[in-house]
Structure 1
Amino acid sequence: MRRLFGTDGVRGRAGEYPLDPPTVRRLGAALARTLGDRARGVRFLAGRDTRESGPWIERELAVGIRSQGGALVSAGVIPTPAIAYLTPRMDYTAGVVISASHNPFEDNGIKVFSGSGEKIVETLEDRVEAVMADQSWSVSDASESAGVDEVDCRAEYVDHLLRILPPDDRRARVPIALDCANGATATVAPQLFERLGFDIRRIGCDPNGRNINLGCGSTAPDLLARTVTETGCRLGIAYDGDGDRAIFVDDRGGIVDGDAVLLMCARQLKAEGRLKGNAVVATVMSNIGLDMALREADIEIVRCPVGDKYVMDELLRRGLSLGGEQSGHVIFSEHLFTGDGLATSLQVLRTMEVTGRALSDLAAGLKKYPQVLLNVRVDRKVDLKTIEPVAAVMEGVERRLAGHGRLLVRYSGTEPLLRIMLEGRQEGEIQRWAQEIADAVTEHLGRGM
């Protein structure tokens, strides 16, 4: 059996392994056997995004969980961070989210949260996989015909968000644009921002099961940018399919990513004495310009591998309050230990209101170095240091950067790809250098793409 858990839970094409009905059902049973406490009962709170495969995956999980004496209660279509927030507060054993984030509708996935609202650690994933592989037990189909119990808990999540930024009638004439990616935030975001008092323009708020992330959302912000500039909005906010990340468009139509959000929020938290440890966690993919801007603000930056779970690990280990990714996953640990696009939106809006500055002005503090990203398809994944011609090219690039840039070369955790990221002062120059590395890798490990 291939490994189930990847960098962000279980993910694949709906209906195919590992998201075929028998495997999903057995996974539900394995989760109940691994995470459950029979003395207290085994109760899972589930949520999903708007993909057409979500309901049947939820039902199969429920059958598996019930076969082990547990119960799954569905919160329906709801953002991922809502499940992380509500699971401990409603005293569930664990939380389960059925979503493939920013992927197209054909894909889906299963993320698991502990009873304390954090993504389960890799050692626990390993235990679940070991239980899955143990053939000494089987899943009973006695409860196959039973339905899934439901609970409406969106109001509790919205109330939590309103504590970050309370409603204010003075916002009645402040226009903002929302792009909900035809995903999970479409059930919450418009109502939330109307309660806050904003005049909203809606994009991607009509999910049909197949249009999630289709030409909209955080990975396709062009329509949002046009809407902001053409309708005179103060800003635009784009979410991904499950609502754990947000990308912004400023009043001039510029894209504001997670790096800029980390900088502006770090400065504001520091000014308020709320930036724990005077440090920010960012992944290795964040632009080197963020390092320089934070250094100017006398704030330390802590780097970690790509993935919001690694950001969370560093926040917990160091006792820090802010971290995130360039992609828009931002974690404010005083609220939640996972990325929350809606909470991030409210923190940005709060910063704008407190400082009286436009988003374009706040984002201008980040001077980004040119960045080049190349993918090389590889036939195998080996340590590049052991391939002398490739290592020599990489060392040559490092020498030419001379401390005024950054080279990051890593294998994808989910695809047969080597990712090359190069930052430096001149875009044309680093493009050539990145291609030199790509050509060397292609010659020895695969073919370029």
Structure 2
Amino acid sequence: MTSDIAAQAESGFKRRWAHIVPIVFILYTIAYLDRVNVGMALPSVSKDLALSPTQAGFVGGIFFWGYVVSFLSAGWLANRFGAKRVILVALFFWGMFAMGSGLAQTYHQLLAMRVMLGLSEGPIWSSVAALLTQWFLKDERARAFGCWNLSIPAGALLSGPISGLVLSYTNWHVMFALEGLPAWIGAVIWWRMIPPGPASAAWLPASERTHLLAGLTREDERFRALGPTDWHGMFRHPALYFLLGANCFNNLVQYGFALWLPTAIKDASAFRIGSVGVLSAIPYIAAGIGIVAATLSSDRMRERRLHAAVPLISAGVLLYLASHAVSMGIAITMVLFTLSGFFLFMTLPLLNVIMTDVLPRTQAVAAISFTGGISNLFGGTVGPTLVGWLKAQTGDFSLAFSVLGGLGVLGGLLVLAIRVPRGAPVGSEAGAAVGRFKLLAERGGIDE
């Protein structure tokens, strides 16, 4: 009986990862590509629409004015209507406005399309977070969030070569139209492939479904034993504000770096736009490796805080060094940009997992919406605009990227100030899905 249960557990474990994670990964890769592809288009857009560097930065950052409106309400929407429905509606509208950006003929028309694109994409992040907390227990969650967050460097990585290729043969109008279409294709796949929850997943073995739902119930019960779980308790938790500050600086550095990286490479070299697109992808290849390494190590060591803080501090230091290496040539600059990318994207998935470690699941989703909405508005608007303004003042990126580096170090120090309570230890339920089933079977906790 034990061997049969263990086999069922392993089958259910593999099926959850095979059904949920790849689709979430592809979905958010498309979302992030549509968000940052404007960085590749900025040189052409600036020339065609006669934009200053500050205006160009605002084109990149205004996305988040729409994004924050729907992002802040996404936790409530996901809990009220279900993550599956919310994401489906978002996919439809984001595809429409992503393609609509290609129709813009003036600066203000492009700003309007970018705001509406942000409004459409806003619910995705918190809804996906809510979905993953339904499908993965605490000791799996860093890996699940890490696999999902791999889509961020993946989207940026694909944006460079794909957008560069399209721009080499057409223009930025065509680029926006072509790269918005996959959102509608993704909507069809999403609706057909993702169940509303574990209870309705016909492909999940019954024993694994029962165990998963019981594990989620135990997680919530542990928090209920510690005190009230009303949303007011979320705002009374000190960690929320440290995480908010860390998220703000993390996003400021990420978006300031990501949206201006192609222009920085182009300014530091004599490469054509297609080659710039390829070079701009390299830091995101490193970022993908970094996310996998950080989240696997975090789950293995059952530690979150240092795994989130040290990479952000390291990225800040490396970005500062990169800002002063332009005179040494493009090769040295690209090495430092690549190392910055390796560390820069490690922090975000672990900040979200820390939320689920210190708060009940329903509060954690709301907290992710709250901190993510504000930090995306702050970081996504201030980051690109600040870099553009500093470039306009100095004529290059040295001061701008130095400031980003310093703010990255500050964000890492805020993460170090967080204390995870002993009442919510990482991986407290067991080490892995198969191991949990074997233990239950040996104790007679599961019937054939």
| TM-score, scaled to structure 2 | 0.26
- Give the structure, 1 or 2, with the largest relative contact order (CA under 8 Å, sep 6 or more): 2
TM norm structure 1: 0.26
Higher strand share: 1
